[in-house]
Each structure stands twice: as structure tokens, then as C-alpha cells.
Structure 1
């Protein structure tokens, strides 16, 4: 039976299941975080670019749970890449969150059009790790073509690579590359929420294979998908602002998917990305000033 704990490559223990707050409106975020912690979550994932770090901090404080029991993860946005810029990005995030130490700090995108700035930003993360200002560092949305050059320059192996992973887009090659280097794959959009809308996209929540498995276990499609991630050894950060859905997404530890059910879900991979291509994330298209604390 999978547990809600993963040991990162530097020995830090991280809850495998966390609450994501991407696109959570600031006025809903604090309540969602508070509800998640009351449910049992001890891992919250946010980012400077989400614009809700302050509200995440408020929700954590309102929960009444001690700071050292909560694993806080956030990300430096591309506008704050560069060595000094990333150090300041950390200060902005820590100030908004109301903490002195961040548990896991990631670079949000590879920024291949200004990769030297990416490498300098990661050097800043290495310094923050060395100084004890962060407990672990990592990357997000780095593809195989970015990893080779990045790993040649990195002095500290990233603990995490947070990428789009769900039954319809599994990135098996990239997951294998992460595993080869001892980097944990963390799934954003873990139940395929990004596939639910527009352009004729179909919902994983309505997939007959997943629904059949869910019926067998008396669970929801979302619970089956999240259980699949945990049994494959990934971290997952489902997003919701509804207390009932937040609680449902955490109710994963009383059932086990069979090997053939795991294989059936793996067979759903379409190889088609639903989120933006990492190559398209440039300063020209996505650069934005991250506000001061």
C-alpha cells in the first residue's frame, strides 16, 4: 500500500500528495489551503507566477498546524532568472508566504531562449540550499533536450522535476530520464484537468477504462488516477478549491490498484501534450514582473 511520503535524493522527506493552487483565485486560496490541512494534507504547491503565495501563507497560519509540519513548495518565475534576480525572487516568495525557509524551490520553466539565465538562476538555488534557506531544490517542465545541458552545469542534482503527467500524457521517456538521475517526477494536472475543456478534448474523468476501475473499488475516477500516480512512485499535486473535492482527493490510502489495472491506465497514453510546449515559454511571450512582497 503506497504511503503519503517520499524521500527526496538529498534525504528530505516530502508528502507525496499535495494541494496545488494553480489558477486558484486569491480570495479562495486561503480557505482551500486551510481545508486541505484540516483534511490531512501536509504539502502545498504554489508559485510566484500564480499570484497567491500570500494567501497560501495565510491559509497555513490559519490552520493552526505548526510550520515545521507543512511542506511548502514554490517556484521562481522566468522574469526572475539570473543569479541575483533568483535570490531576490526567493526573498519575494518567502516574504509573501511569511516564512524564513522554503521546503522545495523550483525553477518554473527551462527558458531555452535564455538558458544561461536559467543556469545562473539554478546556481542561486544551489546557494540558497547551501545556506539552509531552502531544504531542497528542483526544476519544472524541463524536457530531455534541456536536461543534458542543464545537468552538465548543475552542481546539485535536482530533487524534483515537476511536469505534466496524467493518463492521457505520461511522458515515459522523461520520467525514465528523471529516474536515471534520481530525480523525482512530480505530476501537475495529475487527473488531466487540463484536458477537460476546448478543442474537442475529452475528459479523463469520463474515460470508460478509468470509470470501470473506479467502480470496482467504489472510488471516483479522480481517486483512481491519483492512486495510480502514488503506486508508480510519483508525487501528485491535484488542484481544487472545494472542500469536498479536496477531501475526496486525499482519500487514497484504503485501496490498491491491481497490476492489470495499472497497465490498463498506462495504455491510455496518447502522447499528446495538453499544456503549453516548454519551448514556447519565452520572456517575450510570458515575461511579467513578479510583485514585491
Structure 2
């Protein structure tokens, strides 16, 4: 049952006062008030279409072109997004020594922009594009400029965006759109993020797991934990007997594992909890 803003903040503040080294996991709900929508509703179900899979992206030229066309339209909204009070509150808690490490499932980079220093971007960042052939990395803004030069009239399109920078272009003819190629080797370009069907890089996961081992409590913010890459941390916290607090709208996969569940808006609860 949803909590009032006052009750959620008071409960969270009380919980934080009893913790020394908190491992934080964040999801899309942290960034919704920055204008980046989440994937799932309060019931944990998809709000719209499922994201593209890695297999479809690399194996189907038409699907890859469709992704890049939609991404071209959706990227500016992500690029314009600014950290909200939830990001700022978490950065403040880090500066006070309360948070040991923050692991985020988000790919928007807003935690780092809010000043958070020890961030593990579990699923990567949309602001970086990687070549799957030569492994070079480049700024997403440069790819955007290249696409804009080739398809200037596409800048007229507007559409609702998704957490992955995609956009809803149903009914738009995508046949002319060609996916960008690596300017160095001509290879396939892909946003440097973990797609569905793709594994989190081992070193990144190892860093997150090590951080959890060194923490004495876990706080989940803005995630339904329906994806295993995030749920595993809640399950490990439970198995180790660590206090597990979850702050998010609606149900999560780990509700039964939590020692504290707060059904509330992440931004207002966090901002009020730290004063």
C-alpha cells in the first residue's frame, strides 16, 4: 500500500540512521522525475513494448536500422535530462560516508552527473557507442551528429521516449534509414549498454559483488527487481542476513525478502529523509 510522503521519509531516515555502510542499487524509478520513463508499471508489468534483444540487434539488419532510427529521435531527450533530488540525495549520502557503493541499472549517467563518485554502471551508459569489430569507443553525440547530417529531415520527428533512449515511431517509414558504421573500420556500432539477452561484463559484475561483500546493508531505490541482474543483489543480501530496504512505487520481485518495503516516490522520500 502506498505510503504518504512524510511516513516514507521518516521510515527511510530511521533505517539509514542504523546503517554504517550501505550498498545501493537503483533502477529506472530514480530517473522518472528527470523525464526518463520507466519500463514497468506499479504491478511490475511492461508498460509498452519489450526492448530490442542483443540477438536481434546483431543478427537482423532491419531490426538494427529500426533501433537506430528510433534512437536518433529518442536520444535528445535523454541527453537533455538532468539529475533530480533523488540523485542529489544519494550523492549527499555518499559524501557523508553512509553509502559505500552505488550500483545502477540505469544507462542515463545521471548519478555521476549529480556528483556521485563511486558508481558502477551495471548496464553501461547510452552516452558511449562501441564498435563490435574494432572495440573502439566514441561519444554518442558524435554519432548523433553524423546521423543528423545524413537524415536532416528526421529531426522533425518527435515521439515518447523510453529508458533506453528509444522512441515510439509506429507508422513512420524507416526503409531509408541505415544504421551508422564505425568511422575507423566500418564495423557495426552499438550503444555501450547491456541489451536484453546479453550478459553484464564480468569485471563490472565482480566489482559490484565485491562492494556488496564489504557492505552491511542494502538499499534498493526505484527498481522492481524483475530482471535477474538486479534481483541477484537483493537475494544475496537476504542470504547474508543483511538489512534490505526497498524504496519504489508498486511491487517488486524481492518484497518478501525485504526487512523494510516503502511504496513511495523515490525522489521525495530520499530528499526529505536526508533533510
Instruction: Please indicate, yes or no, whether the TM-score normalized by the shorter chain is above 0.5.
Output: no
TM-score, scaled relative to structure 1: 0.26
Higher helix share: 1
Larger Rg: 2
